[in-house]
A = this chain, B = another copy of it.
Amino acid sequence: MHTLHLPGFTLEHFLEHYWQRQPLLIRRGFRHFEDPISPDELAGLACEEQVESRLVYRRDGRWQAEVGPFDSYERLGEREWCLIVQAANHWAPEVQALVEPFSFLPKWRLDDVMISYSTPDGGVGPHIDRYDVFICQGSGRRRWRVGARGNHREFAAHEALLHTDPFEPIIDEVLEAGDILYIPPGFPHDGVTLENAMSFSVGFRAKSACDMFSALADHLIDKELGNELLEDAGRPLHTQQGRIDGADFARIRAQLQSVLDNEKLLADMAGGYLSRTKCQLDLQALESPYEEHELAEALAGGALVRTGGLRCFYVDGTVEQGVCYVDGERIAFGPQGSSFVPVLCDHERLDGALLAPWLSQPAILAALTRWVNAGYWYLAD
Partner-B contacts on A (CB < 8 A): 11-12, 15-16, 19-21, 103-109, 130, 185, 206-210, 212-214, 216-217, 220-221, 225-238, 240-246, 248-249, 252-253, 255-260, 266-267, 270-271, 274, 312-317, 319, 324, 342, 344-348
> Shortest distance in angstroms between A250's beta carbon and chain B's nearest beta carbon?
10
> Shortest distance in angstroms between A381's beta carbon and chain B's nearest beta carbon?
23
Given A130-B229, A256-B213, A270-B252, also A19-B104 (CB < 8 A): no
Given A214-B217, A253-B266, also A342-B242 (CB < 8 A): yes
Q: How far is the CA of A106 from the CA of B248 in the complex (A)?
A: 10
Is B15 within 8 A of A106, CB to CB? no
Q: Which of B11, B105, B209, B235 is the one whose CB lies under 8 Å from A220?
A: B209
Q: How far is the CA of A346 from the CA of B245 in the complex (A)?
A: 12
| Nearest-neighbor residue (CB-CB) of A223 within chain B | B210
Given A15-B234, A227-B210, also A345-B242 (CB < 8 A): yes
Q: How far is the CA of A92 from the CA of B244 in the complex (A)?
A: 26
Supply 16 further A-B pairs (C-beta < 8 A) apart from A15-B235, A185-B229, A210-B217.
A19-B233, A20-B234, A104-B237, A108-B244, A109-B232, A206-B232, A210-B221, A213-B217, A242-B324, A242-B342, A243-B342, A244-B270, A244-B315, A249-B266, A249-B316, A249-B317
Chain B residues within an 8 Å CB radius of A16: 234
Given A233-B19, A236-B15, A237-B15, also A212-B256 (CB < 8 A): yes
Q: How far is the CA of A213 from the CA of B207 in the complex (A)?
A: 17
Is B208 within 8 A of A244, CB to CB? no
Chain B residues within an 8 Å CB radius of A259: 209, 213
Is A106 within 8 A of B245, CB to CB? yes
- Most chain B beta-carbon contacts within 10 A, residue among A21, A105, A242, A267: A242
Q: How far is the CA of A21 from the CA of B319 in the complex (A)?
A: 40
Is A19 within 8 A of B345, CB to CB? no
Chain B residues within an 8 Å CB radius of A314: 242-244
> Shortest distance in angstroms between A81's beta carbon and chain B's nearest beta carbon?
31
Q: Which of B105, B209, B242 is the one whose CB lies under 8 Å from A256?
A: B209
Q: How far is the CA of A220 from the CA of B342 in the complex (A)?
A: 35
5 closest Cβ contacts across the A-B interface?
A: A242-B345, A209-B226, A20-B233, A210-B226, A217-B217
Is A228 within 8 A of B241, CB to CB? no
Is A228 within 8 A of B208, CB to CB? yes
Chain B residues within an 8 Å CB radius of A20: 231-234
Is A243 within 8 A of B345, CB to CB? yes
| Nearest-neighbor residue (CB-CB) of A243 within chain B | B314
Chain B residues within an 8 Å CB radius of A12: 236-237
| Nearest-neighbor residue (CB-CB) of A274 within chain B | B244
Q: How far is the CA of A249 from the CA of B106 in the complex (A)?
A: 12
Chain B residues within an 8 Å CB radius of A242: 106-107, 312-314, 324, 342, 344-346
Chain B residues within an 8 Å CB radius of A228: 208-209
Chain B residues within an 8 Å CB radius of A315: 243-244, 249
Q: How far is the CA of A225 from the CA of B21 in the complex (A)?
A: 23
Chain B residues within an 8 Å CB radius of A253: 260, 266
Q: How far is the CA of A218 from the CA of B319 in the complex (A)?
A: 31
Q: How far is the CA of A227 from the CA of B211 in the complex (A)?
A: 8
Chain B residues within an 8 Å CB radius of A241: 103, 106-107, 345-348
